[in-house]
Amino acid sequence: MLTENGIQCRRIDGRISISDRTERLSEFQFDPDNRIPVLLLSIETGAVGLTLTAADRVHIVEPQWNPSVEQQAIGRALRIGQTRKVTIIKYIVQNTVEENIVTLQKKKSGLAKFSLDSRAEDTQNEGLDDLKFVLDN
């Protein structure tokens, strides 16, 4: 869809070789003419170990169970060396399980996940309760 509308882009996901990944990242990150304005990343490949200060927008199109995964992905653009304002956009489809995942994310972000006196059984039960909430609501 992007290329059909004349917008150059590069895609990186788990199927891309390391050498192609490096080349695509370089094209996006270091092109002074900004010929590649869009870099599409799966959250698995884009959440860790990248510096993407050429990005000024981050779009999250699939909410994650663990909100810190999304925060790590967003953090790729909010790095030392970023000189532009970065806009974060999250897409949530109404009346789907995604709304429940976002509610769960807020709950997880607002609570301390672990305490010194918590037991493994308590943590396991909390995970089951979270799954039931997402699927039942």
Q: What is the pLDDT of residues 63-102, one digit of tens each?
A: 998 888 888 999 999 999 899 999 999 999 999 999 999 9
The CATH 3.40.50.300 domain(s) of the chain lie at: 1-91
Would you state the pLDDT for residue 78? Answer: 92
pTM value is: 0.72
Is residue 63 a contact partner of residue 98, using CB atoms and an 8 Å limit? yes
Euclidean distance between the first and the last CA atom of the chain, given in angstroms as a whole number = 33
Q: Can you read off the two tokens belonging to residue 21?
A: 């990944």
Return the CATH number of the domain spanning residue range 1-91: 3.40.50.300
Is residue 12 a contact partner of residue 42, using CB atoms and an 8 Å limit? yes
In this predicted model, what pLDDT tens digit does every residue of 31-72 receive, in sequence order?
888 899 999 998 888 777 889 999 999 999 999 988 888 889
Would you state the pLDDT for residue 112? Answer: 43
